Amino acid sequence: MSSNGAPWVIVAGGFHAFGGMDKANAALAEFLLDRGTAVHLVAHRGGVSPSLASRPGVTVHQVPLPAHSFLLGGPLLDRRGRAVARAVSATHPDARVVVNGGNCAWSDVNWVHSVHEAWPCVDDDAPTWFKVKNRVTKRLARRQESRALHGARVVIANSERTRRDLLERLGLPAHRVHTVYLGSDASVGPASPEERKRARQWLGVEPDRRLVAYVGTIGYDRNKGFDLLWSAWRRLHAQHGWGGAVDLVVAGTGGAERAWRAEIERAGLADHVRLLGFTLHVRDVLAAADLLVSPVRYEAYGLNVHEAICRGIPAIVSAQAGVAELFPTALRHLLLRDPEDIAQLADRLLRWRANAERWNERFAALGARLRSYRWQDMARKMVETVEATAS
């Protein structure tokens, strides 16, 4: 393997294709390897994809994840990340070290995928034990985030929304914070007719029915907004006979999944709302779908929306999400200005159903633009930013 400068250390929970942060960190590692730079990956055990771990130039440092708990595993990742960073930097003083938010207190590059200080707990209806855990976890995350970010030499934000939160809520100096948007997988594009047919057969969706997709958690914390979509969905069924032509598929799981299944059964909508739970087949869900809905209360970026549009389907998303910044002026009136406004969400869904083909046409240009900016482009921009600001 050829050498291109000092090695990089990247500290992250995972490096694989099954989560937004994990995809981004894996893409950075792949780019560095492609240009001949050795990388040290500090991750939880099993968190590095085999294809990446087996590449020449990769050293994987595995960290336990006790009881599959990130709360318990977090301090171990922080400690191991700092140890690896110290060891590599002692041998290579010009080594770069990338951490994610508050996951490791190291004073070099901090790549921020969400800002806990701007991310509230939305759990009023959750069990008491969950509320206590949620608030303790949030308090700890905010403290670690503040410590790590104020000590960072350079900070990379995944959207302008994230950058604003870092400047306004954490008081970081503007010259240290740079925005680099997330990229796209070269293999993700509009589904072919054959792919769409197979995906809809897998889901059991009739050819003449519209399918709306929700991709996100359905836990006790309702930040992702499934409860808002459910309220709008029930209203549409009651007032507009929505069940006659439109189904909903939910790709995601969480602690409240069983409660949601019971709620859907009680409402008599089990034939029209399908909960898939955790699935590795989100690409197939998007191939089958006609629309993605993401009424998030807080979202630093929104890779689910990004990938849906790349797959050739339109999306309804909250204006507060980072990905909404990439919507052209002609589409911004479709954004949800207030995700708590159920009437507005229901209205957007009705407008889509009345003219779905036109919505596809209107989102096509945005999809092409997003697809043209690949994960490699994101990684290149990030590396250039980091190296341009090296002390």
Residue 263 pLDDT > 80, yes or no? Answer: yes
Residue 391 pLDDT > 60, yes or no? Answer: no
pLDDT at 368: 96
Name the more confident of 297 and 18.
Answer: 297
With bands split at pLDDT 50, 70 and 90, how would you rate the model's confidence at 67? confident
Q: What percent of the chain has pLDDT over 90?
A: 88
With bands split at pLDDT 50, 70 and 90, how would you rate the model's confidence at 73? confident
Which amino acid appears at position 320 of this protein? Q
List beta partners, residue 123. Answer: none
Residue 36 pLDDT > 60, yes or no? Answer: yes
Query: What is the Cα 381 distance to its own chain's centre?
Result: 19
List beta partners, residue 194. Answer: none
Strands 58-63 and 315-317: unpaired
pTM above 0.85, yes or no: yes
Name the more confident of 66 and 180.
Answer: 180
Q: What contacts 179, CB < 8 A, 6 or more positions away?
A: 156, 157, 158, 159, 160, 162, 163
pLDDT at 1: 41
Residue 2 pLDDT > 60, yes or no? Answer: no
pLDDT at 68: 83
Average pLDDT over residues 331-349: 95
Residue ranges and CATH numbers for the domains of the chain are 8-183+374-388 (3.40.50.2000), 193-371 (3.40.50.2000)
**Model confidence pLDDT, tens digit, residues 184-213:** 998 889 999 999 999 999 999 988 899 999
**Model confidence pLDDT, tens digit, residues 377-387:** 999 999 999 99
Q: What is the mean pLDDT of the chain?
A: 94
Residue 3 pLDDT > 60, yes or no? Answer: no
Among 28-32, 102-106, 241-245, 295-299, the range scoring the smallest mean pLDDT is 241-245
